[in-house]
Amino acid sequence: MNAVEEVYRTDSRRVLATLIRLLGDFDLAEEALHEAFTAAVERWPTEGVPANPRAWLVSAGRFRAIDAMRRRARFDASVAALAQRLEGSATPPPDAETPDVEDDQLRLIFTCCHPALHPDAQIALTLREVCGLTTEAIAQAFLVPVPTMAQRIVRAKAKIRDARIPYQVPERAELPERLAGVLHVIYLVFNAGYFERPDLSAEAIRLGRLLAELLPEPEADGLLALMLLTESRREARLVAGELVLLEDQDRSKWAKTMVADGLRLVEKALRSRRFGPYTIQAAIAAVHAEAGSAAETDWAQIVGLYDVLLRAEPTAVVELNRAVAIAMRDGPEEGLRLIDALLARGELGDYHLAHSARADLLRRLGRREEAATAYARALELASQEPERRFLQRRLSRQ
């Protein structure tokens, strides 16, 4: 790989984040980024790679953007005013070592995940601008036609410009709520990759790392820990494309470095005493990570953690997970009683995992006909292929 490609891979998103701040516009900044790398391809082979490539690229991008605007300004007076303003702004091209450049990436994440943007657009814009994925790749990941995804991104950028969504990290008072929004977007990206798109999960982990480094908040560590501990099981979870349940996984296949990183982060987040739902979920994943097998798992501790999680996040899905843990601690009858009560309340009736969990408990109790009915219901509702094949196998065995 040559030097320009290498720098593109490692630094292009950081250069873009700074150019957006300097130029005040996403499209201008993307154009400037392209121009800057074109200049690098022309000049670096003969002049040598500059000592600080990132600062060089920012400076080249900014210079060319202003130059292009000046040329356009001959035809348009309003562009002339903009060019003058940009030139006049005394912001020097920032040195790559100053913390401000890192802040630009953080600003970009918070802008892309602004709650005034449509939730789908937040995810799309984050993947496009922060991670540098192509519109085609994002469209494919979310099963949306490319023109629809392109329009979603264009509209979001237009709203940022027209409603003047600021390019900044939120103030202290707003930070908890805004951070929760950013963490949610990252977790959605991670989950989109859970089965068959390890690249998306890897991007989410990269984003999580970036956020945890730039913003020392316990929940950022907690989410990163949760993602690492979940991702560490990928090799064991999908064997030749087929889903393997946690209790049947070959635990020697769990990725040890990710487990170690995850455990360290979850302990750090717990020590802060300012943690939230992601940290608690990571703590549950950590109990599994530390157990040699499903039978050796400390289910009492897991139930206790679900009790804590239920207070932080009182949702039916958390109740379902708690019921499954109780089944492991106290036996399938007890878990089944709780799941039936949940379903009787009219909640989770369309959630495939509620029916597959119920089916599994019925199977353990030897109530095969009822188990088959529940597996069939879960199969009707499941949409991911590996899950569907798993349910099909279970169903055929009842």
Q: Which lies closer to other proteins via its Cβ, residue 47 or residue 171? A: 171
- DSSP letter at 252 equals G
- Kindly indicate which of the ranges 161-169, 200-208, 237-245, 308-316 contains the residues binding other proteins, using the contact rule CB under 8 A: 161-169
- The answer to whether 177 contacts other proteins (rule: CB under 8 A) is no
* Paired tokens of 156: 């979001």
Question: Exposed, middle or buried: residue 251 (CB in 10 Å: 0-12, 13-18, 19+)?
Answer: middle
Least distance between other proteins and beta carbon 113 (Å)? 13
Site membership for other proteins, residue 163 (CB under 8 A):
yes
- How far is Cα 161 from Cα 26, in angstroms, rounded to an integer? 9
Tell me the closest approach of the beta carbon of residue 171 to other proteins, in angstroms. 8
- Please list every residue from 59 through 88 that binds other proteins, using CB under 8 A: 78
Nearer to other proteins, 116 or 239 (CB): 116
Q: How far is the CB of 116 from other proteins (least distance, A)?
A: 6
Q: Give min distance, CB of 162 to other proteins, in A.
A: 6
Confirm or reject binding of residue 386 to other proteins (CB under 8 A): no
Determine if 170 is a binding residue for other proteins (CB under 8 A): yes
CB of 396 to other proteins, least distance (A): 50
Q: Is 165 in the site for other proteins (CB under 8 A)?
A: yes
By CB atoms closer than 10 A (0-12, 13-18, 19+), residue 310 is middle
Q: Residue 116 or 245: which CB sits closer to other proteins?
A: 116
Residue 40, Cβ neighbours under 10 Å: how many?
A: 22
Task: Kindly tell me which of 161 and 256 has the beta carbon lying closer to other proteins.
Answer: 161
Q: Applying CB under 8 A, does 220 fall inside the site for other proteins?
A: no
Q: How many residues form the binding site for other proteins (CB under 8 A)?
A: 11
CA pair distance 227, 321, nearest whole angstrom: 18
CB of 348 to other proteins, least distance (A): 28
Residues 6+ apart with CB under 8 A from 118: 152, 155, 156
| Contact stretch for other proteins (CB under 8 A) within 156-164, 193-201, 246-254, 296-304 | 156-164
Between 168 and 315, CB nearer to other proteins: 168
**Minimal distance in Å, beta carbon 220 to other proteins?**
21
Which C-beta is closer to other proteins: that of 22 or that of 229? 22
What is the Rg, in whole angstroms, of the alpha carbon atoms belonging to the chain?
A: 25
| 162 near other proteins, rule: CB under 8 A | yes
Q: How far apart are CA 323 and CA 337, in angstroms?
A: 9
Answer yes or no whether residue 174 interacts with other proteins by CB under 8 A.
yes
Q: How far is the CB of 187 from other proteins (least distance, A)?
A: 24
Among 19, 101, 10, 92, CA closest to 49: 10
- Residue among 164, 273, 296, 383 that touches other proteins (CB under 8 A): 164
Q: Which residues in the chain belong to E strands, given as ranges?
A: 238-239, 242-243
309 touches 289 (CB < 8 A): no
Q: Phi, psi (5° rounding) for residue 242?
A: -100, 140
Question: H or E element: which one contains 313?
Answer: none
When binding is defined by CB under 8 A, the residue of 89, 148, 168, 384 that contacts other proteins is 168
Single out the residue of 71, 116, 176, 290 in contact with other proteins (rule: CB under 8 A): 116
* 158 near other proteins, rule: CB under 8 A: no
Residues 29 and 15: their CA atoms lie apart, in Å, by 9
Instruction: Please state, in angstroms and rounded to a whole number, the distance separating the CA atoms of residues 103 and 126.
Output: 16
Of the listed pieces 30-38, 159-167, 330-338, 347-355, which binds other proteins according to CB under 8 A? 159-167
CA distances from 313 to 210, 212, 316, 318 (A): 26, 22, 9, 7
Question: Residue 261: phi, psi to the nearest 5?
Answer: -60, -45
- Which tokens hold the place of 295? 């039978």
Please tell me whether residue 125 binds other proteins under the rule CB under 8 A: no
Q: How far apart are CA 121 and CA 227, in angstroms?
A: 22
Instruction: Report the interface residues with other proteins, using CB under 8 A.
Output: 78, 114, 116, 162-166, 168, 170, 174
